Amino acid sequence: MTKREATSGIAQAPIAELHVHLEGSIRPEVAVELARRCGITLTEDEVRQRYAYTNFAEFIEAFKWVTSFLREPEDFALLACDLAQQLLAQKVVYAEVTLSVGVMLLRNQDPQRNFEAILAATEPFESKGLRLNWIFDAVRQFGPELAGKVVDWAVQCRSPRVVAFGIGGDELQVPTNDFRHVYRRAAAAGLHRLIHAGETGGPEKIREAVELLGIERIGHGIAVIHDPAVMDLLAARRIALEICPTSNLCTGALATQLNLPSASIEQHPLPKLLRHGIPVVLSTDDPAMFHTCLSDEYRHAQSMGLSESELAQLIDNSFTFSFLPAHQRNARHFRAV
């Protein structure tokens, strides 16, 4: 099979997306509309100029800026509907979307009202072949108290669509151990658990997440390449890494981990991780802000030298390591529905 044929096969296969932030999916044209609702005039070119970064700190500033236009439940509904349309166009049949409830609380918003608007906006897409579940996300640098409130809201919403609790943000802030009680509460509430680790931090952040927090998936985790023992740990415990190659390139995280002034997508350690036996799921992170989509990420994976069978394994992993009920964790289930 030629590379073009393999790429075509990927494009036709039903796929799942497990690491995508709703707020990182604000396309320039949507940002313009959201800003208009706030009485602010923007052009799409101005948004694109903001969506250019050389390091993680610059990305965070752009993220804070564009998400400041999300103020009312109707704004979240508009964004959720737009993301659902994007996912459908890419043959995505299932996604676990991260929702920044920690940011909502910091901005004194009502997470339940926002979430109800999101559910109402995205419910019609199920009949079109797209199922969405949600991960309520806290921000690490906001501390464990606010993270605990995110868990409380996940429980209070009483929705089967809320499947997990996670923490993103600056992993170099606040010791991992400070969040142990928060993750215990999440587990007791029946929520799956994940965290961003090993993106800009070292492999010790990954080990801490596994051994102190009992996480089930890790966002990014590329720092694991620096510690073979942690690589073995992830492989043995079947803890998946949500790998987002374009994100790692745009934020400078890949260059940082490789100790290089800059890096190319072909230098990404995804093949090494996959071939070590670590479960890898391919994801986009903040697709609009990183000018990517899931189809592009599979093309990038192919450019790294992955074989046809390895690309197929990535697709399978996106279902196998989802937080769906066990009997639904395969693409065949969605073909049958």
CA-based angle 269:272:278, to the nearest 5? 105
Q: At 296, list the tokens.
A: 């592009």
Q: At 51, list the tokens.
A: 């969506």
C-alpha to C-alpha distances, 191 to 29, 123, 149, 160, 186, nearest whole angstrom: 35, 22, 14, 10, 5
Other CB atoms within 10 A of residue 281 CB: 24
Catalytic amino acids?
199
- Report whether 261 contacts 255 (CB < 8 A): yes
Q: At 250, list the tokens.
A: 């745009």
Distance CA 228, CA 11 (A): 34
Distance CA 55, CA 52 (A): 9
Distance CA 257, CA 293 (A): 23
- Identify the three-state secondary structure at position 148: helix
One-letter amino acid for residue 134 of the chain: W
One-letter amino acid for residue 19 of the chain: H
Distance CA 268, CA 273 (A): 10
Other CB atoms within 10 A of residue 123 CB: 12
- Identify the three-state secondary structure at position 188: helix
Q: At 120, list the tokens.
A: 């109402």
